[in-house]
Structure 1
Amino acid sequence: MMHGHVTLALTGASGMPYGLRLLQCLLHADTPVHLLVSEAARVVLGLETDLQLPAKPSAMARRLLEACRLPDSAPLAVFGDRQWTAPVASGSGAPRQMVVCPCSMGTLSAIATGASDNLIERAADVVLKERGRLILVPRETPFSDIHLENMLRLSRMGTVILPANPGFYHQPETVEALVDFVVARILDQLGAPQSLLPAWGERLSPTAHGGGRAS
């Protein structure tokens, strides 16, 4: 079940459309979001989208709400990378659910080792220590032994490792449909209602209902 606020972090991996679409879906559902955006994420955003984000958190919030076609009253709070007084920096005020999407291998490594050198890493550390729900969405290929070992370490701590690997059984016709596939899986993990993707078996072709798997 979905519970209250969600912390969403965007880091410097490729895959910014996933993070932006997730933000849009959460806000349209009136889910309060604490947003953290790394400096590298702002660079990648400019490369992968038409969105140029200012560095100041308040200006960033206005620009994102405008891009998501939402009013200024939408429940979005953006915090700076070193804003240690933010609610997400303490177990007494942090949301119990956090998604890092996209998640760079550098951020994943820092979370696995408890580095807490910036607010994103600290927020993830808080969720882990408070036994909350941490979902990491890596967008990297191929994975090295270091990447895999870090993911295994985090998985054993209860972290959900949800790579940005869209499926094709829903017969996507657009890039947006591929993005929605991954975002739908994230929302499912958060316990949030979503209509982006039907559950398996809900919209299968008649031949698919008839029997075996394709070989």
Structure 2
Amino acid sequence: MVTGAPDRRWVVGITGASGAAYGIKLCRELLAGGYVIHLVVTDAGWRVFKEELGWDASRRMETLRHAFGDEPFEEGRLIYHPLNDIGASIASGSFRCEGMVVVPCSMGTLSSIAHGASTNLLTRAADVMLKEGRPLLLVPRETPLHAIHLENMLALARLGVRIIPAMPAFYYGPQTLDDAVAFMVGKVMDSMSVPHNLYRRWGESHE
């Protein structure tokens, strides 16, 4: 079983904000790049899987195996942690990894992280990243934003958290929804310092 070196291992959280496709695309890209993923999905995140992707939220492991295939699980490259498993490896500061990404990140989860409210495994893992000084990246997807949202983001940004709002660009000429998803995931991977070819960068040829 592959356990993954710390510099090839990421924690990925998926919450109930709209944009489940971002989190799934990121996981697939990381797996394709040889990374090990420790995945946590909130209950609201599972609801969004059902609403946006048509997934069966009542059979969670079976659904994930259908989405990603059996191989990543059997090889230990994709480890799924139940939300309430507060004793999971990623809840400890002794767990070594490259960092954590929450994509998409709901305003409720962002608020919990900003105020140190470790009420479940996802927010506890994020709190661990902060206390251990490891990279934490949040991809909020909400509009419009009120002052509390903005203040929470500012508080986290001042702690060194990367705030990457789900704001697709159009300069590269996206033709499909998949193109827009790929752009956002590419921007997240840029902040993770993970190489990719998901979108055409400004100044690059159209060919």
Question: TM over 0.5: same fold?
Answer: yes
Shift of 1:7: 0.4
Equivalent residue, structure 2, for 1:129: 131
Q: Unaligned regions of 5+ residues in structure 2, if any? A: 1-5
Q: Normalising by the residue count of structure 2, what TM-score does the alignment of the two structures yield?
A: 0.91
Structure-to-structure mapping, 1:11-26, within 5 angstroms: 11-26=15-30
1-side partners of 2:62 and 2:96: how far apart?
Answer: 23
Match of 2:52 among 37, 48, 51: 48
Label 1:13 to 1:116 Cα distance change in 2 as closer, same or farther (>3 A).
Answer: same
Match of 2:173 among 171, 174, 184: 171
When Rg is computed on C-alpha atoms for both structures, the one with the higher figure is: 1
Q: Normalising by the residue count of structure 1, what TM-score does the alignment of the two structures yield?
A: 0.87
Label 1:102 to 1:12 Cα distance change in 2 as closer, same or farther (>3 A).
Answer: same
Label 1:25 to 1:44 Cα distance change in 2 as closer, same or farther (>3 A).
Answer: same
1:63 aligns with 2:66: yes
Provide the aligned length of Structure 1 versus Structure 2: 202
Shift of 1:201: 1.1
Label 1:131 to 1:60 Cα distance change in 2 as closer, same or farther (>3 A).
Answer: farther
Equivalent residue, structure 2, for 1:5: 9
Contact map agreement 2:36 2:78 (CA 8 A) in 1: yes
Equivalent residue, structure 1, for 2:101: 99
Identity of aligned residues (%): 42
2-side partners of 1:138 and 1:203: how far apart?
Answer: 31
Match of 1:80 among 58, 82, 93: 82
Equivalent residue, structure 1, for 2:146: 144
Give the secondary-structure state (helix, strand or coil) at the position aligned to 2:204: coil
Contact map agreement 1:87 1:94 (CA 8 A) in 2: no
Give per-residue Cα distances to partners, 1:180-202, cap 9 Å, x unaligned: 00000011111111011233211
Contact map agreement 1:94 1:126 (CA 8 A) in 2: no
RMSD of the alignment, in Å? 2.0
